[in-house]
């Protein structure tokens, strides 16, 4: 990591190294808030909210909107995206290659293809697809039989293409299907076998 990247990260983590500021940032993720609303949520005085927002402002994390005599604050999501690009775009090929192992691959796939628990898109690569399918398979309890409509309902909570994910879980032998009934295949070496 170069010196500039280290400095950016250090400033970011210093700004968030306070419980109240973390609470404020989490609150601001939900939209626009006035100073008095933020003070009530964070359980601090309004002057303290202003002080904390002042620490976050140099990182461009806060957007302020004035409406007459009222000021409303929200989180600058674009600044967070830019920070991510600026810092993590500098990863060297050697670091990327090291991250391709087991748990690191899972973290990469979850970060790249999911927004929370919503799958944005199906991966093309087989290894990445298997990570996604195992994640979906874990949504089904071992030893329980599910009619297709229940399988679809569970998948639909996370992605609209129920047929593709259902078929892929069967193709990758994570689930079995017989006469419209599905069940999860136990992992090798698990106590369910």
Mean confidence (pLDDT) of the chain: 83
What is the residue-wise DSSP string for 105-116? HHHHHHHHHEET
% residues pLDDT > 70 (the chain): 84
pLDDT of residue 103: 64
- In this prediction, residues 179-192 reach a mean pLDDT of 73
- Model confidence at 193, in pLDDT bands (50, 70, 90)? very low
- pLDDT of 59 > 80? The answer is yes
For residues 65 and 189, give the distance between their C-alpha atoms in angstroms, rounded to a whole number: 57
Report the alpha-carbon distance of residue 190 to residue 193 in Å, rounded: 6
| Whether pLDDT at 86 is above 80 | no
Residue 176's pLDDT is: 94
pLDDT of 11 higher than 90: no
Is the Cβ–Cβ distance between 14 and 59 less than 8 Å?
Answer: no
> Which of 51-60, 82-91, 107-116, 174-183 shows the lowest mean pLDDT across its residues?
82-91
Q: Which of 95, 101, 105, 98 is nearest to 132 (CA)?
A: 105
E strand or H helix that includes residue 135: helix 126-137
Mean pLDDT of 38-64: 90
Nearest CA among 168, 111, 161, 109 for reference residue 137: 168
Structural domains in the chain, CATH included, are 3-79 (1.10.10.10), 99-184 (no CATH)
State what percent of residues in the chain have pLDDT above 90.
39
**What was the pLDDT predicted at 52?**
92
Task: Please give the full DSSP string across 24-68, using - where no structure is assigned.
Answer: HHHHHTTS-EEHHHHHHHHTS-HHHHHHHHHHHGGGT-EEEEEET
The string of pLDDT tens digits covering residues 49-58 is: 999 999 988 8
Q: How far is CA 189 from the centre of its chain?
A: 30
Residue 114: pLDDT above 80? Answer: yes
Tokens 């005599």 locate to 69
Could you give the 3-state DSSP secondary structure of residue 15?
A: helix
Euclidean distance between CA atoms 119 and 37, whole angstroms: 33
Question: Quick one: pLDDT band at residue 90, thresholds 50, 70, 90?
Answer: low
């Amino acid at each position: 990591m170069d010196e500039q990247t280290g400095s950016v990260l250090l400033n970011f983590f210093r700004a968030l190294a306070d419980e109240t500021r973390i609470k404020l940032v989490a609150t601001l993720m939900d939209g626009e808030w006035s100073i008095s609303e933020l003070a009530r949520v964070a359980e601090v005085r309004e002057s303290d909210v202003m002080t904390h927002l002042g620490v976050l402002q140099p990182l461009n994390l806060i957007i302020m909107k004035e409406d007459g005599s009222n000021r409303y604050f929200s989180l600058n999501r674009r600044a967070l995206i830019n920070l991510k690009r600026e810092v993590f775009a500098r990863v060297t090929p050697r670091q990327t290659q090291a991250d391709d192992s087991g748990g690191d691959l899972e973290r990469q796939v979850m970060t790249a293809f999911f927004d929370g628990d919503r799958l944005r898109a199906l991966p093309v690569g087989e290894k990445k697809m298997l990570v996604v399918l195992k994640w979906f398979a874990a949504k089904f309890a071992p030893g329980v039989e599910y009619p297709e409509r229940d399988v679809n309902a569970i998948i639909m909570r996370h992605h609209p293409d129920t047929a593709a994910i259902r078929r892929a879980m069967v193709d990758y032998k994570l689930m079995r299907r017989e006469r419209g009934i599905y069940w999860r295949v136990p992992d090798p070496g698990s106590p369910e076998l």
